[in-house]
Amino acid sequence: MPKDNVVVGLDIGTTKVVAVVAEVTLQGRLNIIGLGETPSGGLRKGIIVDIENTARAIEKAVEQAERMSGCRISSAFVGLTGPHIGSINNRGVVAVTGEDGEVGPEDVERVLQAARVIPLPADRRIIHVLPRQYIVDGYDGIMDPIGMSGSRLEVETQIVTAAGAAVQNTLKSVQRAGLAIEELVLNPLASAEAVLQQAEKELGTVVVDIGGGTTEIAVISQGCLWFAAVLPIGSEHITSDLAVGLRTPLTQAEAIKKEHGCVLAELVAENEFIEVPAVGGKEKKRVPKKMLAAIIEPRVEEIFTLVRREINGSHFQGLLPGGVVLTGGGALLEGITQLAGEALAMPVRLGWPENSGGLADMVASPAYATAVGLVNYGAGRLAHTQAAAGREAIWENFWARLKNWWRELF
């Protein structure tokens, strides 16, 4: 049976579809209670190209998660990625209309709506309007302006946009699998939720999620998203390079990459060899392990060169003392943090999903960062909704008691 305190994250990736089910405790802690994972065959570079195949993969992943968790899954927070993703900084301004000049929830809603007014092509859709800070009568750095006094309310936002066709294909695939979408969530934003500590979010940190078909970038500063981009290149390209360079099937190249892959030739001993199956079922051949690194290193260098270009082009004016946090399945290659540090000229660490209990060991890998981040995001939304419902219930109770008192009085 569905439960009110259960959230589901659905990561529709180029190489795999992952469904994570988590239970939110009364203390706000996440307990992972279900995981489903299946190969994905309907995407290319993060974009859905086959709705039927994608829907079938979603169904399989959800069925696995349902069996493990014992919960019926009817809706999920769904990740969205692809090179069509764009981000824009914008500002909204409104006059405060509350009594005695007090900022109310309706003023906050109006100023966020004002920030949404940007010139967009007909084929683009707004996915997120994320407030970075509010400004009341010129005083900035305000995160929650409700209850403050003033006459003018401003907000600085990060607006995330996506191609309308890509959004529609995602909606169709999920709905065809029998699920409702709670909310579409930007993948790198979800990954940041899973792998960053609060101090890193405040100081300024770059999250780089290397997936199968894409590499996702998010600049997080002062606790908010400042910039996001998605590159159409990922660990699948490394697999393809190995398949061509070693003259072996793609499936074998993927297995070799995961087991023996290293991005720096200097980390590999001269006398290390591996067995590589040849195309066409011929006998295996012995290949120096250094040869793998020689094939992998240029591709990974290319990825980080493009990442550096995106960061430099983001026009972020602040510092990034938190450095770079690498995550995603492609971040598991040996030596990748060292190469990333040299290419990006920043401190680099590997990011793992944290701050969850239950079956957390099953998702304790950078490969599950996005899926775990989606349930983290969903838990935050659930808490916000419950808090709003609680405030509404308090007011309803207050007015009911006032009416009863009035009847008793007269």
Give the global pTM: 0.89
Question: What pLDDT was estimated at residue 101?
Answer: 87
Beta pairing class for 205-210 and 324-327: parallel
Give the Cα-Cα-Cα angle 379, 380, 384 (nearest 5 degrees): 115
CA distance 347 to 340: 9
Over residues 90-118, mean pLDDT: 92
Least confident of 51-60, 294-303, 319-328, 384-393: 384-393
Please say if the pLDDT value at position 383 is more than 90: no
Please say if the pLDDT value at position 399 is more than 80: no
Model confidence band, residue 363 (pLDDT cutoffs 50, 70, 90): very high
User: Over pLDDT 90: what percentage of the chain?
Assistant: 77
For 27-56, the pLDDT digits (tens) are 778 899 999 999 988 899 899 999 999 999
CA distance 335 to 186: 28
Please say if the pLDDT value at position 340 is more than 60: yes
* CB neighbour list of residue 109: distance below 8 Å, 6 or more residues apart: none
Please say if the pLDDT value at position 274 is more than 50: yes
Amino acid letter, 348: V
Please say if the pLDDT value at position 409 is more than 80: no
Question: What separation in angstroms does the CA of 102 have from each of 114, 134, 180, 238?
Answer: 19, 14, 38, 56
For the chain, give the mean pLDDT: 89
For 146-194, the pLDDT digits (tens) are 999 999 999 999 999 999 999 999 999 999 999 999 999 999 999 999 9
Question: What pLDDT was estimated at residue 48?
Answer: 94
Question: What pLDDT was estimated at residue 395?
Answer: 41
Please say if the pLDDT value at position 401 is more than 90: no
Model confidence band, residue 396 (pLDDT cutoffs 50, 70, 90): low
Question: What pLDDT was estimated at residue 79?
Answer: 96
**How far is CA 167 from its chain centroid?**
16
User: Over pLDDT 70: what percentage of the chain?
Assistant: 92
* CB neighbour list of residue 52: distance below 8 Å, 6 or more residues apart: 42, 176
> Judging by beta carbons within 10 Å of its beta carbon (0-12, 13-18, 19+), is residue 57 exposed, middle or buried?
buried
Model confidence band, residue 385 (pLDDT cutoffs 50, 70, 90): low
Question: What pLDDT was estimated at residue 404?
Answer: 64
Please say if the pLDDT value at position 398 is more than 60: no
